[in-house]
Amino acid sequence: MSCHIAHEQAAAASRPLTLRSRPLRVALVGQPNVGKSVVFGRLTGRYVTVSNYPGTTVAVTQGRVLVGAEVCDVIDTPGVNTLEGTVSEDERITRDVLETDRADLVVQVADARNLRRALMLTGQIATFGKPTILALNMVDEAFARGIVVDAPALEAELGIPVIEMVAVEGRGMAELRDALARAAVPHVPTAARAGATARAEWAHALTTRVRHVSTISLARIQETLAWATRTPLTGLPILAVVLYALYLFVGVFGAQTLVKLLEDGVFGRGINPASTWLVDRVIPIPIVHDFLVGEYGLVTMGVTYSIAIVLPVVATFFLMFGFLEDSGYIPRLAIFCDRIFRTMGLNGKAVLPMVLGLGCDTMATMTTRILGTPKERLIAILLLALGIPCSAQLATILGILGGISFAALATLFGVVIGQMILVGWLAARVLKGERSEFILELPPIRWPRIGNLLTKTRLRVWWYLGEAVPLFLIGTVLLFVLDRVGALVWLSAAGRPIVTGLLGLPPATAQILVMGFLRRDYGAAGLFQLAHSGQLTGVQAVVALTVMTLFVPCVANFLMMVRERGLRTGLAIIGVITPIAIFTGAGLNYVLRSLGVHF
């Protein structure tokens, strides 16, 4: 089979095709959350590159697929809801791909559960005159909801190949490859190509002819649960249950049970004593001893912190986050939180980078590009830097305060969330600009596939081991050098009046805050160690963790802010959140002590 198909207009789409001198260029097009990236991954495997689309800051994924003896170039375009009157960068990129020779053939990936909406996009794709294939994905979930699409009838109506798929399982991928040679320009009435109203009528009529819906119990359960997550009366209790489950799984099981097992058992009784014994006998030099197994030792601090303290909580968080992500709950949380975010000049879509920030604020800062206006992106970056704890900080918060009391945990989150709402409300009124409309595709509520969940968690843990652990080791070396030249003592002394005076914290906390700027998870691990050794009271722990959460982001996040918004804006954000963190911590310390609170 040859996948070299000529780029022709509708009138010539069925003529014999000639070989071309370059690989066929295939564009994957579809609405958000239809499984486009899964199809891309199944097609291309490891032959993938990710780069910014020319003239934009949006990253697109490109790869190659071998079909028979021929090679095809594949581009995964950004998810779009429309190709008309485009305003977002994502929509402009997809339209540009279809208008130019960047694509010879289009594979439209569609959600089989929402055929009418998919056909609205098919009508717009047809205007570009590109040979097209319609890939109906998630047919298993459509069937579970009682929806059956007559694919042969739809294929006859459109005059293009229609492939039924379950991309996450690989079903339909062979059929998709075989269909590349049969792609054709869709048969769409001229009126439906040019007018939105006519296109909606055509899509509705065609959907009625080829789709059949029956009522089954599983579909009703899914719909009822999906509705309950979006309704305030039931959504709040569901959110409370989700957060409490997160607390139990990450804060209790991960940050206490697993950390105790690794820190006290594996490292405390095994690896660290063995490393000290080995270093003292093989290289009995004081500076080498201090560098490897001393207070800021590569093994006793760097490896112990990254593996024994942070890894268990990061892994349990990734597992829980993946479960919520694959279950379809997070997009519904975005809808549920839309009203709150509107008070901060944002919309519900901002919950996505905020939730991702619980994993890594640096990565989440990049994802603020999904927001529609510069004002929204700036407010989101500010709030990420101010109040969203990364996975290491969240691990520390849950690990320390979870072992003290739920009231201590609720106090911290109440203060931090209150500050975020206040700062966001002020920023929405001070900064110039508009808020974009809120349009979000809702995946179904479903039970995650265990295999996919474990694979996703494994890949994220490997990312942590490959990206974060080396930074822990580099940070350890830097701390060792700073300690040797006396810089840590000087910085601690400079910050001690604020730390011990206004905040009422032990002097060692000043040094930990410095560590936190070099690497957030490093400072978090330092606080964990301080609390674990009994040097923090309950009130001090709440104050210290509040300040750490609101304090300046790590160097990596600061550099990402500079990359996204420029040096002046990055410094301005630092200048805003630093006094907020200090004065909030001071006020919290004063109130708790005045009221005689003891956690």
Return the residue matching tokens 């007559």. Answer: 150
Give me the phi and psi of 390, to 5 degrees please.
-70, 175
**pLDDT above 90: residue 383:** yes
Q: Which two tokens stand for residue 474?
A: 């580099």
pLDDT at 427: 92
Residue type, 578: T
In this structure, are residues 123 and 187 in contact, taking their beta carbons and an 8 Å threshold?
no
The helix/strand/coil state of 551 is coil
pLDDT at 51: 55
Using CA atoms, how far apart are residues 454 and 573, in angstroms rounded to an integer?
Answer: 37
- Report percent pLDDT > 70 for the chain: 88
Residue type, 124: Q
- Would you list the domain boundaries of the chain? 10-214, 232-594
Q: How confident is the model at residue 398 (pLDDT cuts 50, 70, 90)?
A: confident
Give 285-321 pLDDT, tens digit per residue: 888 988 998 877 888 888 887 788 778 877 887 888 8
In this structure, are residues 301 and 378 in contact, taking their beta carbons and an 8 Å threshold?
no
pTM of the model: 0.55
Give 75-88 pLDDT, tens digit per residue: 999 888 888 876 67
Using CA atoms, how far apart are residues 301 and 422, in angstroms rounded to an integer?
Answer: 38
DSSP 270: I
Using CA atoms, how far apart are residues 581 and 385, in angstroms rounded to an integer?
Answer: 11
Nearest Cα neighbor of 337 from 243, 251, 222 is 243
β-bridge pairing 24-29 and 70-76: parallel
Return the residue matching tokens 């975005």. Answer: 334
pLDDT at 33: 85
pLDDT at 159: 94
Q: How confident is the model at residue 6 (pLDDT cuts 50, 70, 90)?
A: very low
Residue 197 buriedness (CB in 10 A; 0-12 / 13-18 / 19+): exposed
Give 326-374 pLDDT, tens digit per residue: 888 887 888 888 888 888 888 888 887 887 777 667 767 877 877 878 8
pLDDT at 441: 65
pLDDT at 379: 93
Pick the CATH number of 10-214 from 3.40.50.300, 3.40.50.2300, 3.40.50.800, 3.30.70.580: 3.40.50.300
* Euclidean distance between the first and the last CA atom of the chain, given in angstroms as a whole number: 71
pLDDT at 520: 66
Give me the phi and psi of 108, to 5 degrees please.
-85, 115
Using CA atoms, how far apart are residues 109 and 37, in angstroms rounded to an integer?
Answer: 10
Q: How confident is the model at residue 1 (pLDDT cuts 50, 70, 90)?
A: very low
Give 107-120 pLDDT, tens digit per residue: 999 999 999 999 99
- Helices of type H across 231-373: 232-246, 259-260, 272-282, 286-293, 311-327, 329-336, 338-342, 351-357, 361-367
* Cα dihedral sign, 583-589-591-592: positive
β-bridge pairing 59-67 and 48-52: antiparallel
CA distances to 39, 178, 180 from 173, in Å: 8, 9, 11
Give 190-223 pLDDT, tens digit per residue: 888 888 889 999 999 999 999 988 755 566 677 6
